[in-house]
Amino acid sequence: MSLRPIDWLVMLVYVAFVVGIGLILKRHMKTSTDFFLSGRALPAWVCGLAFVSANLGAQEVIGMAASGAKYGIATSHFYWIGAIPAMVFVGVFMMPFYYGSRARSVPEYLRLRFDEKTRALNAVAFTVMTIFSSGISMYAMARLIQILHLFDAPLAWLSISPAWGFHLSILVSALVVLVYVFFGGLSGAIYNEVLQFFLIVAGFLPLVWLGLKSVGGWESLKARVPAEMTHAWMGMGSPHTNPLGVEWFGLAMGLGFVLSFGYWCTDFLVVQRAMAAHSMSAARRTPLIAALPKMFFPLLVILPGLIAIGVAAPATRPAAQNSTLEMKTAPAADFARGLIPAKTNGATGEVVRDSDGKVVLDYDLAIPNMLLRYFPSGLLGLGLTALLASFMSGMAGNVTAFNTVWTYDIYQAYIRPGASDSHYLRMGRVATVAGIALSVMAAYLATRFNNIMDMLQLIFAFVNAPLFATFLLGMFWKRATGHGAFFGLLSGTLAAALHHGATLPAGAVAGIKGGWLGPLLHSYPSEMAQNFWTAIFAWTTCFLATILISLVTRPRAEKDLVGLVYSLTPRQREQDVAWYLRPAALGVGVLILAAALNFIFR
């Protein structure tokens, strides 16, 4: 079976709307604030849904379903422990400083609070990271489209080789995102992220319903898969008794504190969405509104992965690496678990095995295979459009964050200060084109040097892990100094690299997975445990080094820190909004709901 006209029509309607929104917004882009910060004029619910959608890139939808199939409900920790508490913290405690300081970006806050060098370090690392993240998102999408042979029929009709499907996917997605960000700026991205949010829900909700119906409901699914896959906290007392290979302390500290707070509280990609809100109150509500749908996302993205494992393997397996959408190469199908086929070598077609000779499963195909198994023509078009929407929102999120940090924190700060506002608006558009062109290059780099991309992601992890310590001290300890922040960050990154170099996950070979320093100090039961502990080491080192260096260097005058540090900033009084809309009340409500979900799926 190939896609029918109705499926293409659904995709075309979506593309027409996202491009149309960008073009409509073009006439509202008069100043650089309009372009980079949506004129700080958006309502909280729009920013909130964009906040959650900007993070819904390739890693989220495909990766979380893959983890759902591999580890089960324990993957929900990435939401209930690894996102919700940090989202509440940034809304209640940190947003007053981001929004109230009138900083236009996260690096700019670092300049106001600390100094120029700390900002430069953060701005450069961030711009490089966004380009590669966007490139990886683009690469993942093009690979998926290639595996599903989506463009084969139209290409055959044009007498073009199917191999061009990959290039066409990259070109089309880059062009669509380019149009709506180039013309609509941050508003174009945010409005489309809201639209994409609803589309992702609309595309995946019937998948969960049909999947659960086919396995006979949740209770029946529980009976079909191992018990630890349907419980989030089972066996978390020891790293050896749960599928994640990590104990509760490493999970709570590494994921729940360091990594989660480091991402949700300091990454400009998400913080930018809140900074576009029309008021301080709306900016503070943004992450809290986002937390509500976020905590139910495991239902949409993790559950399909679990169902893919629990469902009986079909007679003809969906998904494909040959010429039709329904056939799967025979060897891969023979080793399948539910709807998850074995991973095959792209060149030889042979099944991939690990160092112990066990077959490696291609968990990334969980969502695509579920779509192909349960969705007839029509709904299949909607499901695939939802998938494309998630890729595009992730890419656009990175591009808008890149163009802002590049223009304000690098170009205006170091290359051309003092130019007119219209000049920076033009630079923002140039940066959008350049950002997308660089993302395309990064996507092609990923096709040639997979290891380089792995290595870059590892370096980003080293750079990001200590970041939250810098912000925490910056916002809540007035004695923290610029030298302390800068050298604290560097020492945290160094600590992360050293810890990674001296440890190794079980069964891994020294190299990109760790252990490259020579003598091994420790062996972790899983790669996840190693990642969490690398983050804990990096954060602690940065925290202590920043304190020590700050104590021996000269602090800034208190009058310069008003609005930037907690103890020197007047408390926000939210008298003009109903009590249940105040950040503290919303935050408590969100935390109670998240705790209830943890309890239900314990």
Partner 1 sequence: MGLDIRWPIGLMFLILGLLLGAYGLWSDPVIYSKSLGVNVNLIWGAVLAIFGLLMIALGRRGQLRAAKTKNDRDATAR
Can you give the binding site for partner 1, defined by CB under 8 A? 6, 9-10, 13-14, 17, 20-21, 24-25, 27-28, 34, 38-39, 41-42, 46, 187, 191, 194-195, 198, 202, 206, 210, 213-214, 373-379, 382
Closest-CA residue to 275 (of 518, 529, 97): 97
Closest CB 326 distance from partner 1, rounded Å: 10
Closest CB 143 distance from partner 1, rounded Å: 25
* Burial class of residue 219 (count of CB atoms within 10 Å of its CB; 0-12, 13-18, 19+): exposed
CB 331 within 8 A of CB 361: no
Q: Of 10 and 590, which has the nearer Cβ to partner 1?
A: 10
- Residue type at 164? W
Measured distance CA(37)–CA(106) in Å, rounded: 12
Q: Of 244 and 275, which has the nearer Cβ to partner 1?
A: 275
* Structure-token match 């191999």, residue found: 163
What tokens were used for 225?
């898969």
Measured distance CA(83)–CA(590) in Å, rounded: 11
CA 498 to chain centre: 26
Max intra-chain CA distance, the chain: 73
Closest CB 206 distance from partner 1, rounded Å: 5
Q: Of 112 and 210, which has the nearer Cβ to partner 1?
A: 210
Closest CB 447 distance from partner 1, rounded Å: 33
Measured distance CA(143)–CA(150) in Å, rounded: 11
- Using DSSP, state whether 31 is helix, strand or coil: coil
Q: Of 75 and 403, which has the nearer Cβ to partner 1?
A: 403
Closest-CA residue to 60 (of 320, 377, 302): 302
> Partners of 504 in the beta sheet?
523
Closest CB 426 distance from partner 1, rounded Å: 20
> Partners of 514 in the beta sheet?
511
CB 465 within 8 A of CB 125: no
- The radius of gyration computed from the CA coordinates of the chain, to the nearest angstrom, equals 24
Q: Of 293 and 563, which has the nearer Cβ to partner 1?
A: 293
Q: Of 47 and 61, which has the nearer Cβ to partner 1?
A: 47
Q: Of 316 and 348, which has the nearer Cβ to partner 1?
A: 316
* Structure-token match 């939802």, residue found: 386
Burial of 75-93, coded b for 16+ CB within 10 Å and e otherwise, reads: bbbbbbbbbbbbbbbbbbb
Closest CB 45 distance from partner 1, rounded Å: 10
Q: Which residues contact 202 (CB under 8 A, 6 or more apart)?
A: 382, 386
Closest CB 268 distance from partner 1, rounded Å: 20
Measured distance CA(554)–CA(4) in Å, rounded: 68
Q: Of 119 and 273, which has the nearer Cβ to partner 1?
A: 273
Q: Of 48 and 466, which has the nearer Cβ to partner 1?
A: 48
Closest CB 19 distance from partner 1, rounded Å: 11
Closest CB 21 distance from partner 1, rounded Å: 6
Closest CB 267 distance from partner 1, rounded Å: 23
What tokens were used for 283?
């900016």
Closest CB 573 distance from partner 1, rounded Å: 24
Q: Of 32 and 38, which has the nearer Cβ to partner 1?
A: 38
Q: Which residues contact 56 (CB under 8 A, 6 or more apart)?
A: 196, 197, 200, 390, 393, 394
Go through the chain and tell me how many residues it has. Answer: 602
Closest CB 417 distance from partner 1, rounded Å: 28
Closest-CA residue to 270 (of 358, 168, 189): 189
Q: Of 17 and 477, which has the nearer Cβ to partner 1?
A: 17
Q: Of 297 and 375, which has the nearer Cβ to partner 1?
A: 375
| Helical ranges in 54-115 per DSSP H | 58, 64-71, 77-80, 84-89, 95-100, 106-113
What tokens were used for 402?
């890149």
